[in-house]
Chains A and B, each alone.
Chain A
Amino acid sequence: MNGVPPEHALMLACGLFLLGMIGLVVRRNIVFMLMSVEIMLNATGLAFVAAGAQWGQPDGQIMVMLILAMAATEVAVGLALVLLLNRKFKTLDVDSASTMRG
């Protein structure tokens, strides 16, 4: 197949990342914030694959796999924490858990 210019893939990754970032800052629901983090992680993985594709090496894909493992872990633990937070504060508002301030 002809080459997809990696810059475009990088641009796509960039765009996805930015969308994830917007979601992270805008949304107040914890679950949505976690989802936005997932989006950002995915975008990073895309950037790695694009880089690996440019050089024709498997290192990019390996990095993506590691990111995958990390994302899985993070989601597992994060969602467990969300459950606990929900039980404590009776809400999923992230701004309610803001006692560590000053």
Chain B
Amino acid sequence: MEVTFYISSAIALLSTAMVITRLNAVQALLYLIVSLLAVALVFFELGAPFVAALEVIIYAGAIMVLFVFVMMMLNLGGSALEQERRWLNPRMYLGPVLLALALGGEMALMIGNTGPAAHAIATVPPKEVGRSLYLVYPVAVELAAMLLLAGLVGAYHLGAGKWTNKEEEITPGFRDRKAPGNPAIKERSI
């Protein structure tokens, strides 16, 4: 069944290439979703059904959807397309591609130096994953939870919209409560 692997990897590579070359942001996002789905299939082929499901549900289903929502909210319009067209010319790709080729060559060297696989791929069922997660790595779970909490609080705080009314507003994160005669500052608890 490896042919599935090769097909889905081809799809992943192709759609990723499309992501980085689109002018329209939403189109790029949609291509990205395709790429993620292809990678989820690759996960499945590699004997990791759990993370394959997670990839679809969380990565493609939540994170990318968040991206799409924000893009819609930004409401960029046609001028954005013009801008992108101006910014993206093939000459820009030269340097990065060279860098990428150099890095790729090195990685190929390293990967080639490792020996062949000792045994066939075995599927790791979710039960294994769960047991390992909560018995061996509970600290990691806690840490991830704290990280998410921090992200939640940060995102809420940043996006609360207090910094929108003044033209010459300072950078986010700094609030001058004590400046006299500042009518836009409302009393907040944080």
Contacts and interface: CB of A to CB of B under 8 A. Distances in A.
* Contact, chains A and B (beta carbon distance below 8 A): yes
Given A69-B144, A73-B151, A83-B159, A18 B104 contact: yes
Contact of A86 (B2, B74, B158): B74
Given A25-B99, A84-B172, A42 B39 contact: yes
Interface residues of A, number: 72
A88 B169 contact: yes
Contacts of B6: 8
A28 B87 CA distance: 7
Interface in A37-61: 38-39, 42, 45-46, 49-50, 52-54, 56-61
B189 interface: no
Nearest to A95: B87
B149 to A, nearest CB: 9
B135 to A, nearest CB: 11
Interface residues of B, number: 88
Contact of B66 (A20, A79, A81): A79
A101 interface: no
Interface string B11-55: 011001101100001001100100110010011011110110011
A53 B46 contact: yes
Interface of A is mostly: helix
A3 interface: yes
Interface of B: 1-2, 5-6, 9, 12-13, 16-17, 19-20, 25, 28-29, 32, 35-36, 39, 42-43, 45-48, 50-51, 54-55, 58-59, 62-63, 66-67, 70-71, 73-74, 76, 80, 83-84, 87-88, 92-93, 95-97, 99-100, 103-104, 107-108, 111-112, 114, 116-122, 124, 128-129, 131-133, 137, 140, 144, 147-148, 150-152, 154-155, 158-159, 163-164, 169, 171-172
Given A7-B114, A68-B58, 10 more contacts: A2-B2, A3-B121, A11-B111, A20-B16, A32-B20, A62-B137, A83-B70, A83-B73, A83-B74, A92-B76
Q: What 9 pairs between A and B have smallest CB-CB spacing?
A: A73-B151, A23-B20, A3-B120, A80-B158, A18-B100, A69-B144, A58-B132, A76-B155, A25-B96
24 contacts: A2-B1, A12-B12, A16-B16, A18-B100, A19-B13, A22-B100, A23-B19, A29-B84, A31-B25, A34-B67, A38-B32, A46-B43, A53-B124, A57-B124, A61-B129, A62-B132, A64-B51, A69-B148, A71-B59, A73-B147, A77-B158, A80-B158, A83-B70, A92-B74
